[in-house]
Amino acid sequence: MANHLPRRGIILILIIIAPNGLVIPDIDLVNLENPIFKSPLSEPIEMTWTNVSGQTGLWGSSGSFFAWGDFNDDGNPDLMVDGGAKIYENTGAPDYSFADVRSAKGLPSGHSVGVWGDLNRDGNLDLVLGGRSDSVYMNGGSTTNWTFTLDITRTTQISDGYPTTATVLRDVNQDGWLDLYMANGEDWNDGNPVYYEDHYFLGGPNGFTNATTQLLGDFSYARGVSFGDSDRDGDADLYVGNYRIVANRYYENQNGVLVGVSSQQGAETILEGQRRNLGGPDYWGHTIASAFADMDNDGFPEILSANLVHLYYDSSDSRGRICDDSHFYRQSPARGTPWQETRPDNGISYGPRGGSGVYQGDELYAGLAVADVDNDGDLDMWLPQIYNLNYATAELWINDGEMGFTNKAADWNLDVIDTYGGAFADYDSDGDMDLITGGRDGLDQTKGIHLFRNDGATESTNDGNWLELTIDYADNTSAIGTTVEIYRNQSFVQSRTIAGAEGPHSSSSSQKLHFGFGQDNSSVDVLVLSQNGSVNFFENISLNQAVTINFSSTVSISSSIGSSVGEIGEGIDFTVSIESNFHWQLDVGLDNIIDESGNSSQTEVTVQLPNSGKQILRLLTIDPISGQGKMQTISVNGIEMEPILNLSSPERTVISEEMLFSLGNSHDSSWDMQHMNYYFEWNNSWGSWSNRSEFAITIDQPGTYDFTYGLRDHRGNSNFSTIEVQVDALPPTPSISLNQSAIMDELVGLSIGNVVNDSGNIGIQYQINWGDGEVKGWTFNPFASHRWNLPGTFEVQVIAKNSWGLQSNVTTNITIDNPSPIISWIQLPSNLTIGENGMWKISVHDTQSDMDSLLIEWSLNGEPIVSSDPFIQIMSLDSVGTFQMAVVATDQRGQWSSISTQFVVRIDEIPIIAVELEGAIISEDGVYYSYQANPIFAIEFNIGEDWVLQTSEGIIQSSEGLFLSGDESLNYVEMVWYSENLNQTIIWQKNQINISIESNRFEFATICDDYELSLNNLPEQAEIKWMWQTADGYSFESISKSLLTSVPHQQQSIRVSVTLNGEQLFIDTSIQPGNNISLLNESELILPTKNQLGSCSVLYSIDGERVRDISQWEDGAAEGEYLLEARIITWWREDFNLNYSLQVDNDEQGSKVSTVVDSSIQKQIIISALFIIAITITAFAFIFKKRKK
C-alpha cells in the first residue's frame, strides 16, 4: 500500500515515511557528479514469472493494445484494453483480480485506441478514445462512483472523421493543461490506400484548440507516437513513428511550439530512419511503436522505434531491399555526440536479408514497452512480434547497465507469439513490474490476454531494492510529463518520466514511477521536475516502499537566466546573468555536474560550454526550507573549434635528467579534453598518438633537438606545433663514501657514487687528494684506498671531471687515531717448586709504525727485572710463596698498556694423604662418614661451594663419624690439605674423592627407602582387589585399576588390596552413595601406604633451626629441653617428619643428652627409617658430649 502525503505539510509527513529521515536540506549540490549509473548486477539474474491470467479473471478475452491507469484512485492500477473495448478494475489485495466494468462505468464499445489523462484538472483520470470515431469521456470521481460521461464539447473539438491510430497526451506548451496528439491511419480502399493528416490540439480549461498547423502536414499512417524531453530543456519533444515505408518524424519543442527538425538537414535527420532507394522514390520502414527512455542513465532519453521489417527479396519481391530496420537511437549533448544508431553494438542483432537459403524470417516487432523488470537500476525492453508464425516470438531484452542486451523471454516462459502490445505495472504492489500482453502460447493456439506476474529473482539474495513514486499535484495538474531524477551521495543515478502514452497505438505503462537499485539499499534524494518548470526536492528517502509525493509550488521563486549570445565556440568562456534570492545551481551542458552555485543574488557567472552543438544550461533555484524551487533553461549553440595547444615544459633541460612535457593545460571543450588524443615526436625520429597528455624523455648528449607536439579531438580536429629544445651538460657532482675515523696504518677504502649529472657515468674521471701530501692521479675507477701513518684529522678531496671537461669537487674529513699497544700472554709456567725455572712469554700488537720503537718493561712483585729478549722472561726462585709477574709496553707517542699474572712457588714432594670414606650417606645437609687422615695437616672439605674447615687430631675411628654441610646434588668431596701453621704461606694440593654410598641392607629394604602408594599412579604389574564391607565381612570384587559402580547404601566402607612384588598392602576407606562412581577419581582413595621402593635422605633441625654442623649448635648451649626434628625426604620429594625431645644437662662429668620420642608422628615411617635416625641421634649425642668436655 502506498504511503500518501497530504497536499500540505510535506516535510513532516515524509519524515514519518522515511525511517532515515526525509528533510529539505540546505542543498549543497556543487559537487554533484555524473558517473553513468552501472547496474550492480552485470549479468542477467534468473527470474520467475507466472501467467496469472486465469486466476485474475483476464483469460478468455483477447486484446492487442493495453493502457494502465488508476481511474478510481485506490492505488491499484486498472487496465484499459483496445481503447476501451474492455475496462478492467483491479480489486486490489488480497486477490488482485480484474473485472470488466466498461458498461457499468458508462463507457461505450467500438473504439480501438485510448489514453488516460486528467483533462479538466479535477484529480480524476479521463479518457480520450479513438478509432473509426473519436470521443472524450470525463471521470465523475468518487461522487459518481467513478463513472464516465461523454464530454460533447471536447469530443466535437477533436473529431475529424479519420481513422485514429493513436492518442497521446502531454503538456507541450507548459500551461498546465494536457495537449493532445491524434495520429491518423489509412483507409485501405481496396488496395488504393488513402492517408490522412495527423491532428494536434492544445488543451485548456474550455477544451481543445486545434494547433495542427505546427505539424509538417504529412499524410501518412502513424502508429507509434510518443513524447519525451530529448534535450532536457524542460519541455516535451515529439516522435512520430510512421507505417508504410515513409519517414518517421521528430519534432523539437521550441518555446512551446513543435518544430519538425528531422525533416531538415541536420543531426536529427537520422531519426527519420534509414533512407533506401532502388532508383525510384525513397523508402523507410514500417514503424509500429516508439518510446523515449533513458536506457543508459545519463539523464538524456534514447529514442526507440520498433519496426515490422520484411527481409526476403528476390527478382519478383523487393520488399526486403527497401524495408528499414528497428532502431535504438542514442545521443549525448554533454559529450558532443549527436543522434546515432546503437543497435550494432547493443546485442540486438539484425536478421539476414536475402532470398531462399539466406532468409530466416522477418523482423516482426509490433510493440514496445520499457521497465526495470529485474530491479537492477536500468531499463529493460519488451519487443513482441506479430503474426501466427513459429519464429514470431516475443522478446524481453535485459539491459546490463551499459546498453548491452540479452533476450531472456524464452528462459522465463514469456515468449508468446502473435501480439502487438505490452505494458508494465506493479499490479499486485509487491515492488516489481508485471507484464500485460496478448498473443498465443504457440502456433495456432487461441489468442488471449496474458498477465505475467513478476515473482522476482529465483535466488532471493539477488532481489533488487526498489522505490515506487506517485506524484500528486496540489493544484491537480496532471502528473503526465513529470520527470523524477534520483541522486545518491550527491551523484546523479537515474531518471524516469511519466509518459502520456507510448509504444503502439496509445499503449501505456503505469503512471507510477518505478525505480530499481540493485543490491544497494542506501537512501536516495529525489528531484521532481514538473512540466511547468517548478521543482520539489526531497532528501533521504528510504527504499523498498511506495511513496506518494504531494507536489507543491506555493513558494514564490524569483530567478532568471539569460545570455547575450546564442552561439559561442566550444570550450570558450562566456557570461550568464543570474538573479536569485535562494540557493541556485547551474549545470552547463546537462552533464549532471554542477558548474556554479550560490546562495545569494549573483548577476554574472562565467562558464564554458562542454562541447559543440546544442548545449542546454539549466538553472535550479530552490528554497532550502520548503524544498520548492524552479527550473529554467537556455539553449546555446557551441561552434566546433580546433583544440588550443598549451605546452608545459621544464625550465631547463640537461643531459641525464628526465624532461617532462605536458599538454594537460591545453584548451578545448570539457568533453573533448576528456577524450583528447596527444601526439609527441622527438627530433624528427618517431611519433605516435595516445591518450596520455604527458611525454617524458632523458637525453645523454647535449645539443639542440626538435620537439613536435599536437592535439586531436574525437571529431578529428587537430593542432600541431614544433619547438627547439636545448639540452645542456652540467659538471658532475660526486658524493663520497668514506669512514669518518680509522687507526694508523689501517687500509681505508673510499668509493665515489651517486654522481649527479654523470651522463650515465660514461667518461667520468676522478682525482683524489688524501690530505697528507699524497694525491691519486686522474682515474676512471670510482674506488680507491689509502693508509695514514700519522694520527690527526685530514681533509680528503675528490674532483670529478666529465668528457666535456666540466668538473666539480667535494671534500670530507677523516680522523686517524693512535691506539695503545695490546699485550697478551702466550706462555705461562705451572706452579713452580723452589729452584725450578719458569718461562713467561708475551705477544704485543701495535700499528706498524710503532712496532719498531716499542719499550717493553718487566717487573716481579713491583721490582724491575731485566730480560735479554723483551718478549720472553726465564727465571727461578729460591723461596716459596705467591708472586706477581707484570709487563708494560709503551709506544713512541706515550701510549701504553700492561698485563700481569700470579704464580706459586712450593716445596717439592708434598705427601699424598690417603682418605677413605666408609658408609657415607649424602643428604641435603651433608655427608655422614668416617675417615683417616695424616695428623700433621689440617683438612678443608668442600661439598659444592660450602667450605668447612676441620683440623685433624689424629685418626678418627669410623665409629665416631664427622658431619659436614654441603649440597645433596653433588656426589663427591673436594679435600684441601694445609700445613699446621695456617698463618704461614701454605703449600697445598687438592684432591677429589668420589663418594660411594654403601649402607647395610635390612632384610626387606635399604636404608631410608620409602614409596608412597597411589591408585592413580600404580605400576602396571600391581594387582588390585576391591572389597565391599558387609555384615558377614568383606566381599571381593577384583578389577584392574578402577571400579565404576553404584553405591546402594547410605555409606559404604571399602578395603583395597594392592599386591606388588610379593608384598600385599591393605587400605581402608569409605565413599558416599551415588550412581556410577569412579573410585579412582575420589580424592579419599589416594592411599598413604608406604612400600619398600626407592631412596630417601634425612634432614635435621633443633628448635626449628637447621643443623649443618653439630659444632655450630653445641658451643654455648644451655641446659634445657630442645626439639630435634628429623625430616625424611624421598626421591620424589615427598617428606615425613619425626619429632624428638633432647634434654641437655651439664654437670662435672660433662653434658648428658637424652631423647624422648614425641607421640605426634605426622606420617607412618617404615622401620628402616627409624633405625637410621636412631643411629644418627646417637652420633649427635656422642659428638655433643665430647665437644662439651
What's the pLDDT tens digit per position in 469-491? 999 999 999 999 999 999 999 89
For residues 92 and 1027, what is the distance between their CA atoms, to the nearest angstrom?
85
Which strands make up the sheet holding 938-943, listed edge to edge?
Answer: 946-951, 938-943, 972-978, 989-994
- 182, burial (CB in 10 Å: exposed 0-12, middle 13-18, buried 19+): buried
Only one residue has cell 706498524, namely: 848
Please name each of the domains of the chain with its CATH number: 47-73+187-498 (no CATH), 652-728 (2.60.40.10), 744-817 (2.60.40.10), 822-906 (2.60.40.10), 938-991 (no CATH), 1097-1148 (no CATH)
Q: Which helix (H) or strand (E) holds 8?
A: none
Residue 1102, all three cell numbers: 633443633
Is the peptide bond prior to 821 cis by the omega test (within 30 degrees of 0)? Answer: no
Residue 585, all three cell numbers: 545551481
At residue 65, the pLDDT reads: 96
Q: Among 695, 788, 796, which Cα is nearest to 744's?
A: 788
- 528, burial (CB in 10 Å: exposed 0-12, middle 13-18, buried 19+): buried
Contacts of 98 (CB under 8 A, 6+ apart): 56, 57, 58, 79, 88, 89, 90, 91
For residues 292 and 365, what is the distance between their CA atoms, to the nearest angstrom?
17
Phi-psi region of 427 (alpha: psi -120 to 50; beta: other; left: phi over 0): alpha
For residues 278 and 270, what is the distance between their CA atoms, to the nearest angstrom?
19
Rounded to 5 degrees, what angle do the CA atoms 864, 870, 874 make?
Answer: 70
- Other C-beta atoms lying within 10 Å of the C-beta of residue 954: 9
For residues 499 and 525, what is the distance between their CA atoms, to the nearest angstrom?
22
CA 48 to chain centre: 34
Q: Which helix (H) or strand (E) holds 1172?
A: helix 1167-1188
Query: What are the angstrom distances between the C-alpha of 623 and each of 36, 287, 485?
Result: 28, 45, 18
pLDDT per residue as tens digits for the range 629-653 = 999 998 888 888 889 999 999 877 8
For residues 706 and 685, what is the distance between their CA atoms, to the nearest angstrom?
10
**Residue spans of the chain under pLDDT 50:** 1-42, 909-1014, 1038-1051, 1074-1097, 1109-1112, 1114-1116, 1129-1134, 1148-1189
Alpha-carbon torsion (165, 171, 173, 179), positive or negative = positive
For residues 1007 and 998, what is the distance between their CA atoms, to the nearest angstrom?
10
CA 616 to chain centre: 41
Half-sphere exposure of 1116 (CA within 13 A, CB side): 1
For residues 15 and 424, what is the distance between their CA atoms, to the nearest angstrom?
30
Q: Are 81 and 66 in contact (CB under 8 A)?
A: yes
Helices and strands, number each (H, E), in the chain: 8, 89
* Type of residue numbered 456: G
Dihedral pair phi/psi, residue 154, rounded to 5°: -65, -35
Q: Among 244, 237, 241, 300, which Cα is nearest to 271's?
A: 241
At residue 893, the pLDDT reads: 86
Rounded to 5 degrees, what angle do the CA atoms 589, 265, 196 make?
Answer: 110
For residues 115 and 478, what is the distance between their CA atoms, to the nearest angstrom?
13
At residue 1067, the pLDDT reads: 61
For residues 385 and 420, what is the distance between their CA atoms, to the nearest angstrom?
6
Q: Where are the beta strands (DSSP E) in 273-402?
A: 276-277, 282-283, 286-293, 302-309, 327-332, 337-341, 363-364, 369-371, 380-383, 395-399
- Other C-beta atoms lying within 10 Å of the C-beta of residue 427: 25
Query: What are the angstrom distances between the C-alpha of 110 and each of 86, 134, 153, 174?
Result: 10, 10, 20, 33
Dihedral pair phi/psi, residue 659, rounded to 5°: -105, 130
- 3-class SS at 72? coil
Q: Which helix (H) or strand (E) holds 674?
A: helix 670-674
At residue 672, the pLDDT reads: 85
At residue 804, the pLDDT reads: 79
Q: Are 283 and 274 in contact (CB under 8 A)?
A: no
Burial letters 617-648, b for 16+ CB under 10 A, else e: bbbbbbbeebbbbbbbbbebebebbbbebeee
At residue 882, the pLDDT reads: 86
Q: Which helix (H) or strand (E) holds 41?
A: none
To the nearest 10°, report the CA torsion of 680, 681, 687, 689: 10
- 444, burial (CB in 10 Å: exposed 0-12, middle 13-18, buried 19+): exposed
For residues 744 and 817, what is the distance between their CA atoms, to the nearest angstrom?
6
pLDDT per residue as tens digits for the range 158-211 = 999 899 999 999 999 999 999 999 999 999 888 889 999 999 999 999 999 999
Alpha-carbon torsion (922, 926, 930, 931), positive or negative = positive
At residue 1019, the pLDDT reads: 58
At residue 567, the pLDDT reads: 82
Alpha-carbon torsion (473, 479, 485, 489), positive or negative = positive
At residue 963, the pLDDT reads: 35
Q: Where are the beta strands (DSSP E) in 1091-1170?
A: 1096-1102, 1105-1106, 1120-1130, 1135-1147, 1150-1157
For residues 484 and 1180, what is the distance between their CA atoms, to the nearest angstrom?
112
At residue 755, the pLDDT reads: 73
For residues 705 and 680, what is the distance between their CA atoms, to the nearest angstrom?
13
Dihedral pair phi/psi, residue 521, rounded to 5°: -105, 15
